[in-house]
Structure 1
């Protein structure tokens, strides 16, 4: 390979490297900027929707309060005994009738109409006459036939004020005016069974308009108030688009909605007032809401591209210096190809390329010494076998842990669904104790810690099965400090509960004991269950003798995993031994030890 060819490969490699980094950076910046824009836009839109909903709901509450004030205004005659007496009074002459009319209408003008600009007309209607005060040249439409009006008949029957929804009437001219009314039955203060008449108040929308005029949105928007016939009552539009109301299709439910008008996306909120049947609609332009986010996106992309161009320039300037040792290694490899093994690559830097140069030097030295190469190969084979053994051990450990968590979480779920919160809390506390026990310990823990894990597990299962489950931990005191792999005993107890409690309703008793058998620690788990069928027991025993767990019985994977872990950790003299009959099953866990022992027994019963 000549120098010209090497320079060509050199340039191609640099070009590919620069191109790869450039494309990666550009793609990364575009993706980050785009998703950041989406997130920011959605957050801003959701915040605006929530704020707008609160604003229009508060506006609706203010309108309801305003209408409630009108309801309370209809109680004014009750606070004036003279007026109530005049309403009940039956005149005997035209002079008395005229005096009664003047007194009542003067009260209506001074007390009910003059203090409030939005009240247009007030009436007190009796069976014999009408008393009114109006600010308009026109009376109400059903002035002459009020006795046949639905609101009059409904007010006479109702114990509460009657709201007359928004309707159009002539008030100041030929053009109809939007008016809403409230009516209340008047009873005699001396005798509630006597109905004196009905008081009716007509009002325009100046009061509602003053409430809506105070509404200010953080972003430009539009506010509409419509009646149940979808006629416009109030409009406030700060958006550049005009005529939005005519093109807007309202949803049937309250809350937020989105729509498109003339190709432009809008976000809206709507709420309906139950009493007045008015709808309040707020509208925002999506483009206006996200304008700041789009501006931030453009600035971010622009600055990012400037940084990318600068980084590419700097990278090109330094790439030759950084890759120079690599080219030196290539030239040295050409020399080695000729059969000269005495050459060495100088170690110019302590990085990946320096590591490559060092490895190349080691390789050439290894080629010179066959005996050293063979010994190194044997060492590598031994290390591979050891790592395989460790990885197999870790894989077996990871298979055991989820086995218990699944059942525990299922029990907690059932307790919560059944409303047994105390038992659910107790389950969570025991689960916390269990997890704390296995997470704070390494893969090899003391027998005392393992017993704590088993106790937490049995407490969880006792909550699940109640009186059907009882257990006894009879543990030799001298065995508490023995080190064993974590979760060596718990899967045995779990297997017992699974095949005894879950398959039968008979009470189950579990006994856990530990004792010394020479230099071996013997731990036994005994139960009074129906025992393991002979055929199944034979398959389990065969699985325990195999080197791998792939062909193990699915129902006995916990037992087989524990057995494999003990074998991997302590050798062939350790493991499980299972004896089963019609009176129960005994699982013996054997761990070889060489420690001193002291006398004493610790017993725990539940």
Structure 2
């Protein structure tokens, strides 16, 4: 029921207007808001990308300068005589203690020559073949646990693989902790192998532990962390530093995706490679602001659309009442017409379009009344035509003359001719008594041929006739007994008064896009003026079919028959015409019907 109710509402003007309004406004609004959000997002990402590029460049330059100083510190041991000789310290050697102190003094002097601030260095150690030759603790709270089992540290083998290059390694190996545990980036290791060219078997390492506090402060001073964070990874993808606490799972997203989720937010990242070191700086910009701005745009558009929808609804209610005030009178008028009141009319309406419709309805009512009047008169005329047809199908004296001819033929012994004449009369009567209103042109011609055969029995050599009708015309549908009054008129008023032999010709043909039915005879003819006067009298008489004048005229059947032929032609086709004229020695009755007006019988018996 609800579905049917909606379908009914959808097919109303109100439903169509509302649906059309929603479709024509909602879809463009959605498209415009979508395009606006896409454009805003593109601009936001472009701006963020430029900002991240600047931030990445600044961070990369900062790290390059910082690590250049670290590189200088780690290169200092090369200037120590211990790493440029074949001497190797041995703890069991009696001179070990003096050699150890001498090495430390020399290294202290070398490190004092460097200009790098030690505020971020937590400790520094020099390790050679299992011995910690030099160690300085810059952070008193820091415990140098790395010097224990140094060969088992995760950065040990990595440092040897780099063969003298700086190795940056995290404080904790991410592979050894759970994915959802935050990685410790409070410090990281920088190590380097010191290669003694005089003793290649000697393994020497410079080990620094750096705090990230200084780096945090430098990044804050550069104001690079608004809605973004910076992380640094080594060539193995290990996290060296991050301004935002990360888990190993977050780190994996940073390394593999441009957009990722971290710390409950969405981020868009760009990566930059340091020029002099195998380190990658990752700058990520938070997309939450973008999402919030897009959400604000959508909410604002929705609010504006709803406000516009509310205003449109108020206007719609007002105009709907205005339109309904014009529709209801039309509906009332239709209801009265449906109830049979054809005298009703619709008043002027306030809506111009509906007022045009009201005028059309009033015109339709007037035309309908006129049509009913005409149909009524036509029905009366048709009844009169039917009465006339029944009264004038065959004249009594024609039947009387035909029967006398049959008696004469019988007395003369012309049985063959008599049989043929009887068959013709039988066919004629059967055709005349048929109740069908229409017949085929072929059947009409066959009826007229039987009629002429019987007339020829009376007139003998005084009457000769010919019927011309091609086979393609015989199936054309025509009113029954249409041509009989014309043919009968030709015989009675043209051939019968003549004392010389006469000729009657019926021609059915197509000519100039018309079907032409022509009856021509060379009888005595008629006076044109007298004929037209009788035709006018016949028209006046048929207006009162019950009058004595009408009954008297049907007995003469001169102009009355022609008038009824004209009326039957009008009922058949408004474009059909009848013309009766003198053409030299011939009297011609010609019917013309346009070919587009004709139809065909399905069969022609």
With normalisation by structure 2, the TM-score equals: 0.39
* Structure label with greater radius of gyration: 2
